């Protein structure tokens, strides 16, 4: 695989900046597009000819939150191959179970530790790369927390 195309949607600039710093230190080649809300993310998905391999989706954003984005993305067959990793600093069993039912591939609990976040991102992206190499469309749901 060439570069892993990644979209990240998170309304918190500092969180996105920290996330990008950790992502850039992971030994996987990526192309990243960033969005600060779900509406812009959805607009880009519908206008892009080349879809991302993976979307990191913050659950709590204004305008359109991650739960709504996930539902919208999974309602369109053309987006079925996109691996979706929902993430939040809050872990609630009920919400994580709902994400699984709604079609997310992973839940990633945000970490304030750079080293931990880097390790979690590496695990997440390795799962995406492995899945793409095997041309699998469905993967088991994974929860990653530090």
Q: Which range has the worst mean pLDDT, 4-13, 29-38, 55-64, 125-134?
A: 125-134
Kindly report the pTM of this predicted structure. Answer: 0.90
Residue 135 confidence (pLDDT) above 80: no
Tell me, what's the pLDDT at 134?
A: 59
CA 86 to CA 143: how far, in whole Å? 10
Residue 146 confidence (pLDDT) above 70: no
Superfamily of segment(s) 4-144: Response regulator (3.40.50.2300)
* Residue 76 to residues 57, 79, 80, Cα–Cα distance (Å): 17, 6, 7
Res. 130 pLDDT band, cuts 50 70 90: confident
Question: What angle in degrees, to the nearest 10, is found between the helix axes of 66-74 and 93-102?
Answer: 20
Tell me, what's the pLDDT at 138?
A: 52
CA 133 to CA 117: how far, in whole Å? 24
CA dihedral 117, 96, 99, 110 (to 10 degrees): -20
> Is the distance from CB of 55 to CB of 87 less than 8 angstroms?
no
Q: What is the mean pLDDT of residues 58-79?
A: 94
Q: What is the largest CA-CA distance in the chain?
A: 37
CA 108 to CA 64: how far, in whole Å? 19
CA 143 to CA 27: how far, in whole Å? 22
């Amino acid at each position: 695989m060439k570069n892993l195309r990644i979209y990240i949607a998170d309304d918190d600039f500092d969180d996105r900046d920290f996330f990008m710093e950790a992502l850039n230190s992971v030994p996987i080649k990526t192309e990243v597009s960033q969005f600060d809300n779900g509406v812009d993310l959805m607009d880009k998905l519908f206008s892009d000819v080349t879809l991302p391999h993976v979307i990191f989706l913050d659950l709590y954003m204004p305008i359109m939150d991650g739960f709504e984005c996930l539902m919208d993305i999974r309602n369109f067959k053309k987006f079925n191959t996109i691996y979706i990793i929902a993430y939040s600093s809050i872990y609630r069993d009920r919400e994580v179970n709902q994400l699984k039912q709604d079609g997310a591939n992973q839940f990633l609990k945000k970490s304030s530790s750079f080293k931990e976040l880097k390790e979690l991102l590496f695990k997440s992206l390795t799962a995406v790369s492995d899945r793409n190499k095997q041309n699998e469309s469905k993967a088991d749901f994974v929860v990653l927390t530090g």
